[in-house]
Structure 1
Amino acid sequence: MPNPTLLPEILILVGRFLCHDDIAACVLVSRAWQSAMQPLLWTRVPLVDEQTFTEDPILFPHPDAVLLNIYRVLSLDLSRVADPARLQALTPLLQNQLSELSVAHYSTDVDQILAQNRATLRSFTCSSSRLSHQMQQMAGFQSFLPRHEATAFWTRMTSLERLDSLDLTATTVYDEHLEIFFTICGRLRSLSLKRGSIVSMHPPTKEPFHKMRRLELSGIANAVHSQLQFITQCPNLEHLAWTSTQATPLIALLVHITTQPELELRQITSIDFTDSLMSDKDLATILSCLPNLRRLIVPWSLFGELCFEAISGKHVFAIRHGATPKRDTIPISVEAFSYRLSKVHVTWWISRAPWDIQERKIDFTLGTNTLTKTATFSPTASTASHGRAFQIESSLWIPLVTTVTAKWCSRRL
């Protein structure tokens, strides 16, 4: 029998798909394994300041080890580094090798790293994570760069030849940067803008952003209709995450896609409408306009009979939902996985008082065209208000969704 510690060829081929912990374990097997797997261990490196080192040298490597293996690093996370000396030590060594870079804020050292990796860098994240939550609230929508420095930043972004993913937090696009900003958008596959504002989200030309596949707009100060105009400039979107500072962004989306069908976002497979609130009817209308939907996150919208009907016939494999409904609405929490509905399991809680909570369950199975109850349920005085909801649930037909777990709460003080 061959030596079990000899490195199998298959491990070399699949090593880059292993998680960081598995690669770290492989390095400890033998010298042969260490020699083959160590380059993969240094592909992505998160750094912290020296005074914040933990006991895990693999997760946060020692500065000397970083400098020794810096030529192997392809993805570098500097978002937790606040010491300028650490950046200054690394900057001269990073030359045309990085494909991903994450930082907490923009600086001259970061600009130099970008300049030295402009031919290879594909993804850049500026998280502004050094600001505490309280400081972020005080700052409001202030830019992470002063206005007089923002021009250099956007010019640097245009010089990154292979950039296709941009993630910015607490930034502002001024008048003089609009043309550069829209030019960059035309090159990106993924754009994430959080807590900021753009002078205008209406591109000067009608040329759509055909390459854009993923778009996240969270807490942008622009008017809803302006954000919506920007969204519809991305006809090939596959994932849309939209959280507005205003109350009803989904209503605007509803009106837009129903009155201008030529702008329907038919390619979208994933939707994240966190913090948005819509009725069962309005959300169902939106869902019916998204024929390729695969993933839906609507934590606070009312997901009921009409929404279930809207997704019937679609291969929805993940629905996450968690809002408190009105009396005559059904599920507040729905999760759907796989492709063919076989069973619906419903759990609900009855709360007569904060200290008196009871849990009830009911199961449904799929008949020929309807859901048939397999567990009996007799409404009591405290749950009679939900009888109509159960009646609606038992008559649903969802032929192409596999397993659904639905939860809702009824509270009676």
Structure 2
Amino acid sequence: MSNPLDLPEILGLIASYLSIKDIRTCVRVQKSWRSTFEPLLWHTFIYPSSTKQKPKLVLVRQNAEHIRSLVIDRTEPTYLATVFRSCRQLEEIIVRCHFSELGRPSAAKDTMWSCFQEMVRENRNLRAIVLERTSDFGYRPLPRHRLLQALQACSKLEVLQTAECQFNSNLSQSYFQAISPNVKRLSSVLDSFQGFKVPRNLVFPNVRHLDLRNAKMPSRTQLFWIGCFPNLESLTWELDRSVPTTRFCQLLSGCSQLKALGLVIPNGADAMTEALAVAPPLERLLLGGSGFKFPSFQTLKRHALTVKEIDLQYLWNVTSALVQEILCLCPNLESITAEDLNYRDIVKGPWACRNLRKFDVGISVDRGSMNAEQLHTLNQYVYRRLAELKNLQCLSICNNGCGWEGSVYSLNRMMKVSSNAGFEQLQALKDLRLFSCKLAFDETLIIDEGEQLVQWMINHWKRLEVVEITLKVSNHDYANLNPMRRKLRRMLRARDIQVIDSKKSAEYTCDFAGDFEDDNIEVRM
């Protein structure tokens, strides 16, 4: 009887549970495995890759049939034109080109984008296309028009996301036609619509997820456009003062299938209160940067039994006591993001949300108001409380708002990251993939526990992928710690653990909590 591990069907099933790192290892085991595992390494092609050398074009041509997801972070016309010509089995395209890369129009760029548009047209199984910072497409009108025409050929397109694109009135009709009947997720962030007109009888019954953040279009036109999507399950929008709150609330109350609401209402606490009062029971609430007062919190309680994700970042009126009450009231909560949760509030009651997968809350402590014994007891208690959240995948316990970066005041407000403080109780978090303590790690280095704790993380968190800690000098007085910082970075990288410098944390998104939007649409951003 043959070995089951020699059967491609068995190997393919095993591969579905493996990380890229594990797949690379399997490729090296034996030749018979290579034919099964190697194509999986090409499933997602990212340019430029994290490695220093880009794949040779001959390899790209040989393996293009295995590429299902194409991610472009930088333009290199000659190289990418060949990539675009070769890929004909794509299911997802993501373009993230920065403005600094635009330069002047050239024949090579024109050829590259012509190949891109042809690639879009030829990949009939394309399910998702994401265009970010894509003024490359718009240095003259023709490429944009041809691109929209190419999108119309994608009958299976389910995701269409654009950002910082420009659409004039002549392109409106082509844009609407590009939203195929199968599109379920539509995103237009910072797009400019000049002379954009929405036909009166326009309806998109299959769109479930709509994101119109900062779209450059009259607000009343946006409001009318939102009304064209009667079956929305998630809506993300910025509500400015020119939009009648009553009209928006009427529209919101009619969205009976709505499960997720992302609102930015600057200085609009009353509007937030009204919106939360009329919305159906929600699972996701993303309210970062909005006005928020106590009445808003009272209406938020309507959603306490259904909410799974809540983002209260940059809501300065949200107090530590309110964050604690949310943790106590929401039994199904899986993800929470907030600025501050103080030790003294944490001890007031048990948390109801034992299924949390993402905890991104700055835990603060007033060290000056308690003696050493009290502080030690509270440290132990808070770590014990966090250890109870055994399903956590993402744990961030320090924000950037505790004080000036690297200052004594900042360190005195942050949770202590130390074995003596009870940190090792977190060994219960077996599924942890991201850990962040940002600047609080400065103190860990000062008391000479950095190497010990990093080794502890490696030994106990076997699924750890990302660590966000201070490994760069934040204060000239600590420059003598540089050799240790470099050693810790090498230790983590040796285990393929990505190190995120805390100073870049604003650019990093912790998205390990999962996607609560259905339809099995996965777009990696």
Is the TM value for this pair above 0.5? yes
1:108 pairs with 2:114: yes
Which residue is 1:286 aligned to?
Answer: 275
Task: Classify 1:130/1:3 alpha carbon distance in 2 versus 1 (closer, same or farther; 3 Å).
Answer: farther
Distance 1:22 1:287 in 2: 45
Which residue is 2:494 aligned to?
Answer: none
Q: Given residue 312 of structure 2, which amino acid in structure 1 is its aligned partner?
A: H
SS of the residue corresponding to residue 187 of structure 2 reads strand
Which residue is 1:124 aligned to?
Answer: 129
Distance 2:81 2:154 in 1: 21
SS of the residue corresponding to residue 211 of structure 2 reads strand
Which residue is 2:286 aligned to?
Answer: 297
Which residue is 2:76 aligned to?
Answer: 83
Residue correspondence of structure 1 range 89-100 to structure 2 within 5 A: 89-95=82-88, 97-100=89-92
1:165–1:190 Cα contact (<8 Å) kept: yes
Once the two structures are superposed, what CA deviation does each residue of 1:187-211 show, in whole Å capped at 9, x if it has no partner?
A: 2211111222224565314242111
Residue correspondence of structure 1 range 198-237 to structure 2 within 5 A: 198-199=193-194, 202-237=197-232
Task: Classify 1:231/1:20 alpha carbon distance in 2 versus 1 (closer, same or farther; 3 Å).
Answer: farther
1:43–1:74 Cα contact (<8 Å) kept: yes
Match of 1:309 among 301, 314, 317: 301
1:215–1:239 Cα contact (<8 Å) kept: yes
2:121–2:151 Cα contact (<8 Å) kept: no
2:213–2:238 Cα contact (<8 Å) kept: yes
1:35 pairs with 2:35: yes
SS of the residue corresponding to residue 331 of structure 1 reads helix
- Bigger CA drift: 12-21 or 264-273? 12-21
Which residue is 2:263 aligned to?
Answer: 273
Task: Classify 1:256/1:66 alpha carbon distance in 2 versus 1 (closer, same or farther; 3 Å).
Answer: same
2:154–2:180 Cα contact (<8 Å) kept: no
1:176 pairs with 2:170: yes
Residue 223 of structure 1 and its aligned partner are, at CA, apart by 1.9
Q: Which has the higher contact order (CA 8 A, sep 6+)?
A: 1
Once the two structures are superposed, what CA deviation does each residue of 1:124-152 show, in whole Å capped at 9, x if it has no partner?
A: 22222699xxxxxxxxxxx8342344332
Q: Which structure 2 residue ranges, 5 or more long, are not aligned? A: 98-111, 353-368, 370-391, 393-397, 404-525
SS of the residue corresponding to residue 191 of structure 1 reads strand
Task: Classify 1:67/1:326 alpha carbon distance in 2 versus 1 (closer, same or farther; 3 Å).
Answer: closer
2:169–2:196 Cα contact (<8 Å) kept: no
Once the two structures are superposed, what CA deviation does each residue of 1:14-63 show, in whole Å capped at 9, x if it has no partner?
A: 63464433433433343333222222222221122xxx8625x7xx6454
1:195 pairs with 2:200: no
Q: Given residue 132 of structure 2, which amino acid in structure 1 is its aligned partner?
A: S
Distance 1:340 1:319 in 2: 8
Distance 1:195 1:27 in 2: 43
* Structure-1-length-normalised TM-score: 0.67
Once the two structures are superposed, what CA deviation does each residue of 1:214-237 show, in whole Å capped at 9, x if it has no partner?
A: 111122111222112111211111
SS of the residue corresponding to residue 364 of structure 1 reads coil
Q: Given residue 307 of structure 1, which amino acid in structure 2 is its aligned partner?
A: T
Distance 1:120 1:89 in 2: 20
Which residue is 1:364 aligned to?
Answer: 349
Distance 2:194 2:70 in 1: 32
Q: Given residue 268 of structure 2, which amino acid in structure 1 is its aligned partner?
A: M
Q: Which structure 1 residue ranges, 5 or more long, are not aligned? A: 132-142, 350-357, 368-381, 383-402
Q: Given residue 129 of structure 2, which amino acid in structure 1 is its aligned partner?
A: F
Q: How many residues of Structure 1 are paired with residues of Structure 2 in the alignment?
A: 340
Task: Classify 1:309/1:202 alpha carbon distance in 2 versus 1 (closer, same or farther; 3 Å).
Answer: farther
2:134–2:164 Cα contact (<8 Å) kept: no
1:201–1:230 Cα contact (<8 Å) kept: no
Distance 2:117 2:36 in 1: 33
Task: Classify 1:30/1:169 alpha carbon distance in 2 versus 1 (closer, same or farther; 3 Å).
Answer: same
Percent identity of equivalent pairs: 20
Distance 2:69 2:145 in 1: 26
SS of the residue corresponding to residue 233 of structure 1 reads coil
Which residue is 1:54 aligned to?
Answer: 51
Task: Classify 1:223/1:11 alpha carbon distance in 2 versus 1 (closer, same or farther; 3 Å).
Answer: same
Distance 1:240 1:231 in 2: 9
Distance 2:281 2:268 in 1: 21
Distance 1:295 1:185 in 2: 25
Q: Given residue 295 of structure 1, which amino acid in structure 2 is its aligned partner?
A: R
Higher-strand-fraction structure: 1
Match of 2:233 among 238, 245, 250: 238
Higher-helix-fraction structure: 2
Distance 1:275 1:284 in 2: 11
Residue 286 of structure 1 and its aligned partner are, at CA, apart by 1.7
Task: Classify 1:172/1:267 alpha carbon distance in 2 versus 1 (closer, same or farther; 3 Å).
Answer: same
Say what the alpha-carbon RMSD is for the aligned residues. 4.3
Residue 325 of structure 1 and its aligned partner are, at CA, apart by 4.4
2:263–2:286 Cα contact (<8 Å) kept: yes
Which residue is 2:254 aligned to?
Answer: 264
Task: Classify 1:269/1:29 alpha carbon distance in 2 versus 1 (closer, same or farther; 3 Å).
Answer: farther
Once the two structures are superposed, what CA deviation does each residue of 1:297-333 show, in whole Å capped at 9, x if it has no partner?
A: 1123326441343214x42111121345459996368
Distance 2:267 2:7 in 1: 54
Distance 1:340 1:70 in 2: 42
Task: Classify 1:294/1:124 alpha carbon distance in 2 versus 1 (closer, same or farther; 3 Å).
Answer: same
Distance 2:282 2:80 in 1: 43
1:277–1:300 Cα contact (<8 Å) kept: no
Distance 1:327 1:338 in 2: 20
SS of the residue corresponding to residue 150 of structure 1 reads helix
Which residue is 2:158 aligned to?
Answer: 164
Which residue is 2:68 aligned to?
Answer: 74
Task: Classify 1:323/1:214 alpha carbon distance in 2 versus 1 (closer, same or farther; 3 Å).
Answer: same
SS of the residue corresponding to residue 272 of structure 1 reads strand
